[in-house]
Structure 1
């Protein structure tokens, strides 16, 4: 709804290049140019701010920032977010803050909502309960407009009109929201963070030792990106489909997020399942290296 309300055909929006593919789908559907700013997966998963600024012109309507990130699991530090805000302030741009993963952080990393930082710019925050509360099927989220300088008045009207066309979450779940937000014990979230931390540490420590694999250590969300060397394992399709066919192990292809030769792994399984998944990846890699190198 936000992407549709903030732009018209011929405009452009800056999107993360290593990001959730639905952003691009919505922009293309609306005739809006998607300008992808680089996420450097080989440099802690941070945004290339020089390239981000270089993509701004008079038709740029907003910068979309996804933090914590899907697919990388990176949580942007405070100084990095403030640098992004300075760019938005310089060009008088609004920011769409996709913060659906919010406080779902670990590795002692702190999440900073963009709207709490300076310099102050118009910010549209999108969030919900599906990730942090582990209830994706409930489809309950919200949009918060920080209407600084009254820059978002027309956009707010557009979002309200679009919201009336989409009948989403049931009234029962909406009625339960105050209790969900205020009465879920902290132990619930601590258990989730501990599981994510444990699985992240396990996968990283095991896969970093596998020749040709390079995991990117996450600090938030529920994913880990792993780079593989096509010189050792062949192309991405061979690798991903081989894991499915030979090990019954499903991963997301990095190309889905515009990150070829990377995989996205999920961190939410029980520890024993995650450990077995690492076993299967290691066995597959051992076989694949031998077979691929023999053919070469």
Structure 2
């Protein structure tokens, strides 16, 4: 029978939003079971709320936002993003270098569609945010995964990056701060990535959606600020930092050697025009959100919810026999390691299914993030400490008697 579409080749790269484990959780919910969902970074269900002034801004502006905007976005939003880039040290960003989007996800798709022809390769971290792999694949390209080293705080393995470059490699993607590991890349690692990109004339795509969710007094550094001679595309947005994932507010910024990407920019403009524009009422809150007091600081400082929940889940996981874990520095994810020998694990997806069935707790297995070994899973630590305490107790009880056949 003749079939149409590309969905079949994407099935293995979209586990965080679909796949057998998530589908089974949905089926169990239909049967009346209550599922504790630690699988998706959506702040709203866990009691986080947008700053009042952001909500008020949208309400004030909604009547004036009923028509299309410029395909790149409204002036006030792009001006605020341009000024934000100046604060981040990203060089040479002009108004026409900024594209707003319905979340960063839409812009990742546009960026890959504009870049890749059949067989072109793009370097993507492992573990990754799987949408990057999916969008590269959908565009006809090949996602080549370089390793992030758990023993080095989940920083990219520069030697592995070098080994993966071929004459078909077009670009390198970094996710910093990282989802799913919570890693924050230091300057020296970013400088090494820039040097590799410089030697091989690669574009750099930097997913920085969590750049305002950095803890422990550390600071995020945009890789584009270190690469004025390279063509860089930087992504960010308000979904996580301002707890408005449903508003779908993201942006993409071109910087550096833009003259090297004229054909790419032409394709990007065509694709941007085809979708007309991003959500205009949502764009109207960007100026307010990026200016003035940043309420997210209350969450990520000692005593704040995200900080204290990070502290709790890190220590709780460490206390479970058979689990080791690197402490995340940013975002709200943690990526623990399972002792494969102790639990006789050969299938991490089966582990996630077994845990779901026995304890009604939903996590994402490491393979869902294109991690090559069946020994990791991701926990979202957005729920309050009481809920996390319950989840950790359930996991400890489950693993106490767990062994795959």
TM norm structure 2: 0.67
What corresponds to 1:244 in structure 2? 356
8 Å Cα contact 1:97/1:125 also seen in 2: yes
Q: Is contact 2:122–2:141 with CA below 8 Å preserved after alignment?
A: yes
1:286 is the counterpart of 2:384: no
Per-residue CA deviation, residues 59-80 of structure 1 (Å, 9 max, x unaligned), is: 2111111101111110111111
Deviation at 1:243, TM superposition (A): 2.2
Contact 1:13 1:32 in 2 (8 A): yes
For 1:120-135, list aligned pairs within 5 A: 120-135=229-244
* Equivalent in the alignment of 1:189: 297
Cα drift, residue 238 of structure 1: 4.2
Q: Cα RMSD over matched residues? A: 2.0
Structure 1 residues 7-64: Cα deviation after superposition (integer angstroms, max 9, x where no partner) = 2222111111210112222222222122111112233111110110122222211111
- Alpha-carbon distance between aligned partners in 2 of 1:238 and 1:230, rounded to the nearest angstrom: 13
Q: Is the 8 A contact 1:138 1:169 kept in 2?
A: no
For residue 331 of structure 2, what is the aligned residue in structure 1? 221
Q: Distance in 2 between matches of 1:159 and 1:93?
A: 17
For the 8 Å contact 1:24–1:34, the answer to whether it is kept is yes
Cα deviation digits, residues 208-255 of structure 1 (max 9, x gap): 122111122111111000111233234324432232222221111111
CA change 1:190–1:212 in 2 (3 A) is same
Compared with structure 1, are the counterparts of its residues 218 and 188 closer, same or farther at alpha carbon in structure 2 (3 Å cutoff)? closer
Equivalent residue number for residue 27 of structure 1: 136
* TM superposition shift of 1:153: 2.2
**Shift in CA distance, 117/12, structure 1 to aligned 2, threshold 3 Å:** same
Q: Is this contact kept in 2: 1:106–1:196, CA < 8 A?
A: no
CA positional deviation for 1:207 = 1.7
CA contact (8 A) 1:89 1:119 kept: no
319, 340, 343: which is aligned to 1:233? 343
Q: Secondary structure at the match of 2:353?
A: helix
2:313 pairs with 1:211: no
**3 and 73 in structure 1: CA distance in 2 versus 1, 3 angstrom threshold:** same
Structure 1 residue matching 2:143: 3-state secondary structure: strand
1:196 Cα deviation from its structure 2 partner: 2.4
CA distance in 2, matches of 1:268, 1:134: 11
Task: Report Cα offsets for 1:269-289 as digits up to 9, x if no partner.
Answer: 11221122112212222233x
Describe the SS at the equivalent of 1:186: coil
Unaligned runs of 5+ in 2: 1-109
Q: In structure 2, what is the equivalent of residue 40 of structure 1? A: 149
Partner in structure 2 of residue 64 of structure 1: 173
User: With CA pairs under 8 Å and 6+ residues apart, which has the higher RCO, 1 or 2?
Assistant: 2
Within the candidate set 250, 259, 267, 1:150 is matched to: 259
Select between 71-80 and 103-112 the one with higher mean Cα deviation: 103-112
SS in 1 for 2:361: coil
Alpha-carbon separation, structure 2, partners of 1:132 and 1:176: 13
Matched-pair contact (CA < 8 Å) for 1:86–1:119: no
2:119 maps to what in 1? 10
* Partner in structure 1 of residue 309 of structure 2: 199
| Gaps in structure 1 of 5+ consecutive residues | none
Higher mean C-alpha deviation, range 114-123 or range 137-146: 114-123
